Structure 1
């Protein structure tokens, strides 16, 4: 989703996670899991206004030092607009989804948003 104001714009990426599954917000180097990575490709007419704002993750019960998202997660990137032209943004997530028994191969989901 893109929220546009005259001088600013916000890209909002929301993911729903099925019950019993999770994705990784933080993975220490000694763990084999794939940490979530937000994807963003924006035109030069937009200037990032700070870092990604992310939902608060929770500590993994099974893996000390690992932080996960369950149920849903929200990511917001704010931009300042350098001009009023319209354009397109590619946004999404690169992630690995696991449950208590298995981990699926890493996946990437993106959408193209117009503003």
Structure 2
């Protein structure tokens, strides 16, 4: 019984250490602002830890995984155009043999919508990949929901 207790204790310690090693260098936040009685802008902000970078939506085939937003028209609103982003930092990457656009520290993406009612809940997901000077993390996907009032 004592051996089982010791093994269980070691397993819990190892599981705690392993869990603390999971890297999450990007935190997403979301907001909405009405720009008129029937339009609004959704703000999708990525806060990026120092030393890491998040890729642009506009990466050519053969490069890293680009940031991709999936939003659909929903009850009370319709999408207007595509998600826009500010001008990224652009650098030639030897690994991919091409110019790559990316963001450091933080970036705010924007999606305009047309409202058909007073309020709406905009839902979607973002797929993204981040790298630093020594490693890239596997692509991640985060669902979001933004209320427009």
Asked if 1:11 is matched to 2:42, the reply is yes
Asked if 1:29 is matched to 2:49, the reply is no
Counterpart in the other structure of 2:83:
52
Which structure would you say has the larger RCO, counting Cα contacts within 8 Å and 6 or more residues apart?
1
- Give the conservation status (yes or no) of the 8 Å contact 1:42–1:90: no
TM superposition shift of 1:23: 1.3
Counterpart CA distance in 1 for 2:60 and 2:120 is: 37
TM superposition shift of 1:42: 4.0
Counterpart CA distance in 2 for 1:71 and 1:109 is: 19
Tell me how many residue pairs correspond in the alignment.
Answer: 113
- Give the conservation status (yes or no) of the 8 Å contact 2:77–2:120: no
- Give the conservation status (yes or no) of the 8 Å contact 1:20–1:100: yes
TM normalised by structure 1 equals 0.83
Counterpart in the other structure of 1:72:
106
Structure having the higher helix fraction is 2
TM superposition shift of 1:55: 1.5
Counterpart CA distance in 2 for 1:114 and 1:39 is: 17
TM superposition shift of 1:113: 1.6
TM superposition shift of 1:82: 2.5
Counterpart in the other structure of 2:10:
none
Asked if 1:109 is matched to 2:142, the reply is yes
Counterpart in the other structure of 2:24:
none
Q: Secondary structure at the match of 1:60?
A: strand
Moved >4 Å (runs of 4+)? none
RMSD of Structure 2 on Structure 1 (CA) = 1.9
